[in-house]
Amino acid sequence: MVLALHPFYASVTEITHNAARRELGVSARIFTDDLENTLKKQFKTSFDIIKPANRKQVEGYIAAYLQQHISVKLDGRPVALKFIGYKIEEDAVWSFLEAENVAAPKKVEVRNDVLYEQHATQTNMIHVIVGGKRQSYKLDNPQAVAVFGF
């Protein structure tokens, strides 16, 4: 049996502002094998992201990596994103971050260079939802910043 590698390198990041709760939620979907291989290389270690022997340690690796590679500014001010956790869904890892006490922004700036150091053809899709309005942008390596106005 030959295992086929997926033919493209892509992630999807969705950023949603919840006005009622004054929260910003960030979810990032990254192919499991790509994320695991990147984390192993960066942290010079070995683990199984799907069935980790030490889940807290793996969560720490993911949190540190995402903190380095995804950032958000609302109306020109950086937002502190807190890692909530991750789940495996089919061939991808969904990671979740949030920021609390966040007013609805007029401008959202997203920096996302996830996996750029691993794949020259990496594409990162960004979806931002504020006030029920959804905007999307496709970042192709090396382009790392998208700006949305609401």
pLDDT in tens, 105-149: 999 999 999 999 999 999 999 999 999 999 999 999 999 999 999
Q: What are the tens digits of pLDDT across the range 55-114? A: 999 999 999 999 999 999 999 999 999 999 999 999 999 999 999 999 999 999 999 999
Is 2 contained in some domain? no
Is 51 contained in some domain? yes
Is 3 contained in some domain? no
The whole domain housing 46 covers 15-149
SS (H, E, C) the chain: CCCCCCCCCEEEEEEEEECCCCEEEEEEEEEHHHHHHHHHHHHCCCCCCCCCCCHHHHHHHHHHHHHHHEEEEECCEECCCEEEEEEEECCEEEEEEEEECCCCCCEEEEEECCCCCCCCCCEEEEEEEECCEEEEEEEECCCCEEEEEC
Is 105 contained in some domain? yes
Is 10 contained in some domain? no
Is 113 contained in some domain? yes
Is 9 contained in some domain? no
